[in-house]
Amino acid sequence: MDSSSDLFRRLEQLNAIGAALSKERDINRLLESILIAAKTITHADGGTLYRMTEDGRALRFEILRTDSLHIAMGGTTGNPINFPNLPLYNDNGESNDSMVAAYAAIHDKTVNITDAYTEAGFDFSGTRSFDERTGYRSQSFLTVPMKNHEGEIIGVLQLINAQNPATRQVIPFSSADQSLAESLASQAAIALTNRLLISQLEELFEAFINLINLAIDEKSPYTGGHCQRVPTLTMMLAEATDTTREGPLASFHMDERDRYELKIAGLLHDCGKVTTPVHVVDKATKLQTIFDRIHLIDTRFEVLKRDAEIHALRRQLALRESILDTAAEANIWQEYQDQAQLLDAERTFLRQTNIGGEAMREDDQQRVRDIGSRRKWRNVDGVETEFLTADEIDNLTIRAGTLTMKERDVINHHIVATIKMLEQLPWPRHLTKVPEYAGGHHERMDGKGYPKGLTREQMSLQARMMGIADIFEALTARDRPYKPGMKLSQAMGIMANFKKNGHIDPDLFDVFVRQGVYRRYAEQFLDPAQIDAVDEAALVRT
């Protein structure tokens, strides 16, 4: 018979266990904790936790423990349970009442057995076979169904061989043991159901995030990969920072909630790009909109060449009406060929200019303006007009890249849209920092970034991590329409300059280098031809 003090102590354990179960986020650790807790408060030597299969027709082994045999399977052990599922019904649809765990689940009834070898009505042949192989003696059984808040059976908790705490002798499970186990099973079922519901909501939420990224991906194949790679690289840098044990970042640590919050922020960091026009995101050349307008300019050059040829031929015909002068005709034709050659050269120049680059020289910009204003052509309405429109000149004289200032503003607006979108959501307490983390990846340490012009001191470490990840991914990406992916050494050299000029966080960049984050990322995502030698010592000294 249980003493009052022992029962009171076990009730206190039950309360503490219930509180602990409600805080556990990991399903495997939760299941493991349930079984271990049940064994503890009932002094059981062994036990098994079953969960109902998705179709509700069988029990699946989840956790198995037998202390005296040092058996630990399932859960966090890394030892899989390869036993087949326990069917609740046979092929004829009849209840599998011969198996005690199945009986408890089918009939929603606790089964307390004093000795499996003498109990009638249940099939313990498998238990006897196990005992013969191991030398064990399975005796007392306590099998408790687990129900969720809707009264549905979600699993079964089975305990084996209650022991006298003082002598370790196997004894039957007492009525107090049964009451405690049933109470624990009820609390555990609620904790497990809540955790599963939360997990399902998290999965649904992440699925919606992936849906947004898929929408961006469908709009442009050049940004979809970015939306996946940046969060991956951000988490790699965060984990490396978390393991740092010396230097200015030694105090930074993350728990599972911190990791999840940063992961969500990474996945959503560019969600505002759903508002960005595709022709701006995908602008591979300076004159590209829905199509590359360089072909319109090609046509104008052909019109000028045709007009020049017609003019030359008319001059030759006019000359022949008065006198046959082959030399004069030859001069006229040579003038035409010289003019056609000049037109071809100017067309080649504009075509090359149309391809964005790192920096366009001032004299090349002026040459574009000269061509646009000096040359005239007759448009489809027969009206003589300037060869290049103001918009075409504006685009073709872009100093770097392919975007005009107006288009850059459109691109940059995506971060404003991101912040605005994320701040509208009713974030739970453990995700309240998502908008700040996601919205800060275009800020700079010196306050010259956008959209808020934050300084290093005004930004979280996580937002600064995301800034490094965003820049490095953009430099090395090989799926952009306007540039090839940089070699590793070139990208890291640019990053080092960004560290020096106050663009990125210097301490995080040192972790990025020293912990080899950049190289692990490169091995996973870059083309092997991009991966070359990097002078890490020089990068850290910069």
User: What is the pLDDT, as a whole number, of residue 210?
Assistant: 84
Q: Are residues 166 and 274 in the same domain?
A: no
Question: In this structure, which long-range contacts are made by residues 20-23, counting pairs with CB atoms below 8 Å and at least 24 apart in sequence?
Answer: 21/187, 21/188, 21/191, 22/191, 22/194
Average pLDDT, integer, range 295-320: 91
Q: Are residues 375 and 263 in the same domain?
A: no
Looking at every residue in the chain, the average pLDDT score rounds to 88
Last residue of a domain, one of 402, 437, 467: 402
pLDDT in tens, 89-145: 988 889 999 999 999 999 999 999 999 999 888 999 989 999 999 999 999 999 999
Q: What share of the chain is helix, strand, coil (3-state, %, to 5)?
A: 55, 10, 35
Helix, strand or coil, per DSSP, at residue 27:
helix
- β-bridge pairing 170-171 and 44-52: unpaired
157, burial (CB in 10 Å: exposed 0-12, middle 13-18, buried 19+)? buried
Give the containing element (helix H, strand E) for 221.
none
Q: Are residues 153 and 56 in the same domain?
A: yes
pLDDT band per the 50, 70, 90 thresholds, residue 8: low
Q: Are residues 396 and 310 in the same domain?
A: yes
Whether residue 6 is predicted with pLDDT greater than 70 in this model: the reply is no
273, burial (CB in 10 Å: exposed 0-12, middle 13-18, buried 19+)? buried
- CB-CB contact of 375 with 392 (8 Å): no
CATH number where 113 lies:
3.30.450.40
Helix, strand or coil, per DSSP, at residue 231:
helix
pLDDT band per the 50, 70, 90 thresholds, residue 12: low
498, burial (CB in 10 Å: exposed 0-12, middle 13-18, buried 19+)? buried
Q: Is residue 50, in this structure, part of any structural domain at all?
A: yes
What string of DSSP letters covers 364-432? HHHHHHHHHHH-EEE-TTS-EEESS-HHHHHHHT-SSSS--HHHHHHHHHHHHHHHHHHHTS---GGGT
C-alpha torsion sign, points 28, 86, 140, 127: negative
Last residue of a domain, one of 402, 421, 446: 402
Q: Are residues 134 and 268 in the same domain?
A: no
Q: Are residues 55 and 193 in the same domain?
A: yes
Whether residue 17 is predicted with pLDDT greater than 80 in this model: the reply is no
Helix, strand or coil, per DSSP, at residue 49:
strand
User: What is the pLDDT, as a whole number, of residue 30?
Assistant: 79
CATH number where 454 lies:
1.10.3210.10
Q: Is residue 211, in this structure, part of any structural domain at all?
A: no
pLDDT in tens, 190-240: 878 888 888 888 889 989 888 887 877 777 666 657 888 999 999 999 999
* 3-state helix/strand/coil string of 448-475: CCCCCCCEHHHCCHHHHHHHHHHHHHHH
Question: How far apart are alpha carbons 357 and 384 in whole angstroms?
Answer: 33
User: What is the pLDDT, as a whole number, of residue 280?
Assistant: 80
pTM of structure: 0.69
User: What is the pLDDT, as a whole number, of residue 231?
Assistant: 93
pLDDT in tens, 360-407: 899 999 999 999 998 998 888 888 899 999 999 999 999 888 888 888
- Which domain range does residue 503 map to? 220-278+411-541
Higher-scoring residue by pLDDT: 373, 12: 373
- CB-CB contact of 59 with 88 (8 Å): yes
Strand partners, 90: none
Q: Are residues 512 and 436 in the same domain?
A: yes
User: What is the pLDDT, as a whole number, of residue 322?
Assistant: 72
Strand partners, 147: 153
Angle, vertex CA 506, rays to CA 504 and CA 507, nearest 5? 125
pLDDT band per the 50, 70, 90 thresholds, residue 50: very high
Give the range among 176-185, 345-354, 444-453 with minimum mean pLDDT.
176-185
Average pLDDT, integer, range 508-513: 96
Whether residue 481 is predicted with pLDDT greater than 90 in this model: the reply is no
Whether residue 160 is predicted with pLDDT greater than 70 in this model: the reply is yes
User: What is the pLDDT, as a whole number, of residue 281?
Assistant: 74
pLDDT in tens, 436-459: 999 999 999 999 998 999 999 999
User: What is the pLDDT, as a whole number, of residue 222?
Assistant: 62
Question: In this structure, which long-range contacts are made by residues 338-345, counting pairs with CB atoms below 8 Å and at least 24 apart in sequence?
Answer: 339/308, 340/305, 340/308, 340/309, 343/301, 343/304, 343/305, 343/308, 344/301, 344/305
Report the domain count for the chain: 3
- CB-CB contact of 481 with 518 (8 Å): no
Q: Is residue 158, in this structure, part of any structural domain at all?
A: yes
Give the range among 198-207, 298-307, 490-499 with minimum mean pLDDT.
198-207
Last residue of a domain, one of 354, 381, 402: 402
Q: Are residues 233 and 176 in the same domain?
A: no
User: What is the pLDDT, as a whole number, of residue 1?
Assistant: 45
DSSP category for residue 223 = T
Residues 6+ apart with CB under 8 A from 76: 28, 29, 32
Q: Are residues 191 and 224 in the same domain?
A: no
Q: Is residue 345, in this structure, part of any structural domain at all?
A: yes
Whether residue 435 is predicted with pLDDT greater than 90 in this model: the reply is yes
pLDDT in tens, 25-37: 777 887 888 888 8
pLDDT in tens, 330-344: 999 999 999 999 999
Give the range among 377-386, 428-437, 462-471 with minimum mean pLDDT.
377-386
Q: Are residues 392 and 433 in the same domain?
A: no
User: What is the pLDDT, as a whole number, of residue 19?
Assistant: 61
Q: Are residues 124 and 71 in the same domain?
A: yes
Q: Are residues 378 and 420 in the same domain?
A: no
Question: Which amino acid belongs to residue 42?
Answer: T
Whether residue 188 is predicted with pLDDT greater than 90 in this model: the reply is no
Q: Is residue 450, in this structure, part of any structural domain at all?
A: yes
Q: Is residue 215, in this structure, part of any structural domain at all?
A: no
Q: Is residue 304, in this structure, part of any structural domain at all?
A: yes
Q: Is residue 213, in this structure, part of any structural domain at all?
A: no
